[in-house]
């Protein structure tokens, strides 16, 4: 049955019931269409679009309200609003009905762009924008701002952006995160300070600029790369400001045009320390070492002792160590020279040697001399100079001879001594000239220095110099000694002030030359 009404006015208190098809100008419309007024004197038309629409107020607080509110009529329903809006304000989810846990989807399938101004959560509870599946974006056109409003009291916390991207469109867009100009005092922008497991700033191939002062109380940089300043010599550089005026004064940089640049410490544009390939350090100024102390491992300077070697070709000015001896090279012509010697000398008075009990060899430097320790696998050069006086205080004084007293300290060392001995003596004084007798001695054989006598005093000067080779293992203690021809208490014997021995390591146990002859 068709219903047709023409030229009939229905009272406002009456109801109009239409049973069956309803047409306007014989048009029934399309399923889902609605009637849209075409103005006075015109028949309404069926349509699914609105031009400059007016939605009457639904559930408004009063007839003067200017805001329309749409609500779903089911507990878990969905209210869909889409298409057609070009101006005005669209408020979603801030009506009089308070329901927690609501999800609001704002979407458009149309081409072009739509500008949406969205105020989310204008209560003290705040609000959240969820970007689903990593595909959502918040696009801010022009100078868009993401901010929080009306957050006071215990809920007044900072804006948190997480689990998504903030991007700009176009080739020259900028993203600015700021505290805004309307705050009463400067705020703080915190990035990655809560539960973030990592923070990425910038990306490969793109320059990241940090303006102003970058301050960090506990920054830890993992494998940073400071890129070059230019492609000629200036590589990465760290500038260090001085405390007086915060101006750059020192800097550290990578310098050089090759693939193996130097590391430099530069003071006010003047390089003070340059570390070249292989760790060779060059100082522009003096090197001042701290004072030493008695504590272990506290010497101001150490040479490495893990299988050290010396240069194949000596270089002028070099100082070297090979676990046997120290070497210095004053010039490249004469080459390497031994640098360190061990000394023992009588400073004043004399050291008495007593043969009243036994005639065995005794150190001529007395009980105060513990001897010098020689290490196996080393060759030494030595020099001994002794001033000695013997006075008869009884009936006679024995003859006595020179030798070296050798005492094994550790291991099984073997000592071979090659020496030249020069002796002179008289009965007057140490200042009296005497005839010198010289001889060569090997294997530490005793050499008589003074003959036995029954009266008066005898004065002698004797020298011994040569080479000592220590082979085998361990070490041996060496001390110049005097051996009496017989036990006697009738004399006074002593090594006088100025007597000394000097021993210098010159190489390993079989070394044949040092310096230009090596």
Asked whether residue 218 carries a pLDDT value surpassing 50, the answer given is yes
CB atoms within 10 A of CB 406: 19
Six token digits for residue 275: 């570390």
Decide if 341 contacts 503 (C-beta within 8 A): yes
* pLDDT classification of 204: cutoffs 50, 70, 90: confident
Q: For residues 332 and 317, give the distance between their C-alpha atoms in angstroms, rounded to a whole number.
A: 9
Decide if 479 contacts 346 (C-beta within 8 A): no
* Mean pLDDT to the nearest integer, 466-492: 91
Q: For residues 92 and 82, give the distance between their C-alpha atoms in angstroms, rounded to a whole number.
A: 12
Strand partners, 315: none
* pLDDT classification of 439: cutoffs 50, 70, 90: very high
* Mean pLDDT to the nearest integer, 51-75: 50
Q: For residues 346 and 404, give the distance between their C-alpha atoms in angstroms, rounded to a whole number.
A: 17
Same domain, 492 and 360: yes
The residue whose two tokens read 């509870």 is 125
Same domain, 327 and 352: no
Decide if 496 contacts 347 (C-beta within 8 A): no
The residues, any chain, with a CB within 8 Å of residue 22's CB and separated by 6 or more, are: 3, 28
Q: What is the structure's pLDDT at 296?
A: 86
Six token digits for residue 465: 């110099």
DSSP string over 255-316: E-SSSSPEEEEEETTEEEEEE-TTS-EEESS---PPPP-SSTT--S-----SS----SS--T
In a domain, 95, yes or no: no
Asked whether residue 161 carries a pLDDT value surpassing 70, the answer given is no
In a domain, 10, yes or no: no
Residue range 244-262, pLDDT digits in tens: 999 999 999 999 999 999 9
- What is the C-alpha end-to-end distance of the chain, expressed in Å? 130
Top pLDDT among 487 and 16 is at: 487
* pLDDT classification of 105: cutoffs 50, 70, 90: low
Q: For residues 483 and 32, give the distance between their C-alpha atoms in angstroms, rounded to a whole number.
A: 134
Residue range 340-356, pLDDT digits in tens: 777 777 767 778 888 88
In a domain, 310, yes or no: yes
Q: What percent of the chain has pLDDT over 90?
A: 23
In a domain, 420, yes or no: yes
Q: Which domain holds residue 247?
A: 234-283
Same domain, 420 and 469: yes
In a domain, 57, yes or no: no
Q: For residues 144 and 160, give the distance between their C-alpha atoms in angstroms, rounded to a whole number.
A: 17
Asked whether residue 423 carries a pLDDT value surpassing 50, the answer given is yes
Same domain, 264 and 371: no
* pLDDT classification of 59: cutoffs 50, 70, 90: very low
Q: What is the structure's pLDDT at 99?
A: 47
Top pLDDT among 149 and 284 is at: 284
* Mean pLDDT to the nearest integer, 133-145: 48
Same domain, 350 and 416: yes
What does DSSP say about strands 21-22 and 2-3: parallel, antiparallel, or unpaired? Answer: parallel
Range of weakest confidence among 49-53, 170-174, 188-192, 276-280: 170-174
Q: What is the structure's pLDDT at 249?
A: 95
Range of weakest confidence among 235-244, 291-300, 464-473, 508-517: 508-517
Cβ-in-10-Å burial (0-12, 13-18, 19+) of 272 comes to middle
Six token digits for residue 115: 């500008």
Same domain, 346 and 424: yes
Range of weakest confidence among 80-94, 182-196, 475-489: 80-94
Expressed in percent and rounded to 5, the helix, strand and coil fractions of the chain are 0, 30, 65
Tell me the three state secondary structure of residue 361.
Answer: coil
* pLDDT classification of 282: cutoffs 50, 70, 90: very high
Q: For residues 140 and 169, give the distance between their C-alpha atoms in angstroms, rounded to a whole number.
A: 9
Asked whether residue 6 carries a pLDDT value surpassing 70, the answer given is no
Q: What is the structure's pLDDT at 184?
A: 52
Q: What percent of the chain has pLDDT over 70?
A: 66
Top pLDDT among 102 and 356 is at: 356
Same domain, 346 and 480: yes
Same domain, 488 and 454: yes
Q: What's the structural domain count of the chain?
A: 3
Same domain, 356 and 500: yes
Same domain, 400 and 317: no
Decide if 394 contacts 487 (C-beta within 8 A): no
Could you give the angle at the alpha carbon of 410 between the alpha carbons of 375 and 472, nearest 5°?
A: 55
Asked whether residue 127 carries a pLDDT value surpassing 60, the answer given is no
* pLDDT classification of 139: cutoffs 50, 70, 90: low
């Amino acid at each position: 049955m068709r219903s047709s009404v023409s030229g009939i006015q229905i009272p406002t208190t009456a109801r109009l019931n239409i049973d069956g098809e309803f047409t306007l100008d014989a048009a029934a419309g399309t399923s889902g269409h609605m009637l849209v007024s075409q103005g006075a004197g015109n028949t309404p038309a069926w349509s699914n679009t609105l031009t400059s629409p007016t939605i009457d107020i639904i559930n408004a607080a009063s007839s003067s309200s200017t805001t329309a509110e749409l609500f779903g009529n089911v507990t878990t329903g969905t209210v869909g609003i889409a298409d057609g809006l070009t101006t005005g304000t669209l408020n979603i989810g801030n009506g009089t009905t308070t329901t927690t846990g609501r999800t609001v989807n704002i979407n458009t399938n149309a081409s072009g762009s739509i500008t949406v101004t969205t105020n989310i959560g204008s209560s003290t509870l705040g609000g959240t924008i969820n970007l689903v599946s990593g595909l959502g974006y918040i696009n801010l056109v022009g100078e868009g701002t993401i901010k929080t409003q009306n957050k006071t009291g215990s809920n007044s916390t900072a804006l948190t952006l997480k689990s998504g991207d903030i991007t700009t469109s176009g080739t020259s867009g900028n993203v600015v995160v700021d505290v805004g100009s309307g705050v009463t005092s400067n705020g703080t922008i915190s990035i990655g300070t809560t539960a973030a497991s990592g923070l990425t700033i910038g990306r490969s191939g793109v320059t990241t600029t940090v303006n102003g002062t970058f301050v960090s109380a506990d920054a830890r940089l993992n494998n940073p790369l400071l890129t070059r300043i230019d492609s000629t010599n200036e590589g990465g550089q760290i500038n260090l400001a001085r405390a007086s005026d915060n101006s750059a004064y020192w800097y550290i940089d990578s310098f050089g045009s090759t693939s193996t640049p130097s590391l430099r410490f530069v003071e006010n544009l003047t390089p003070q320390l340059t570390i070249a390939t292989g760790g060779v350090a060059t100082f522009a100024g003096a090197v001042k070492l701290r004072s030493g102390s008695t504590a272990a491992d506290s010497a101001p300077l150490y040479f490495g002792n893990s299988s050290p070697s010396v240069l194949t070709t000596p270089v002028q000015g070099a100082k070297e160590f090979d676990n046997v001896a120290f070497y210095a090279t004053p010039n490249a012509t004469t080459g390497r020279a031994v640098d360190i010697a061990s000394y023992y000398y009588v400073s004043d008075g004399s050291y008495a040697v007593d043969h009243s009990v036994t005639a065995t060899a005794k150190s001529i430097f007395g009980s105060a001399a513990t001897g010098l320790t020689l290490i196996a696998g080393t060759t030494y050069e030595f020099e001994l100079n002794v001033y000695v006086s013997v006075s008869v205080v009884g009936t006679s004084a024995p003859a006595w001879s020179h030798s070296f007293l050798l005492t094994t300290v550790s291991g099984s060392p073997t000592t071979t001594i090659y020496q030249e001995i020069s002796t002179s003596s008289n009965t007057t004084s140490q200042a009296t000239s005497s005839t010198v007798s010289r001889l060569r001695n090997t294997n530490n054989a005793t050499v008589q220095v003074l003959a036995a006598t029954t009266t008066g005093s005898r004065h002698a000067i004797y020298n011994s110099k040569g080479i000592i080779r220590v082979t085998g293992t361990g070490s041996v203690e060496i001390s110049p000694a005097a051996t009496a021809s017989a036990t006697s208490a009738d004399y006074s014997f002593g090594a006088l002030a100025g007597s000394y021995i000097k021993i210098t390591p010159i190489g390993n146990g079989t070394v044949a030359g040092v310096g230009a002859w090596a």
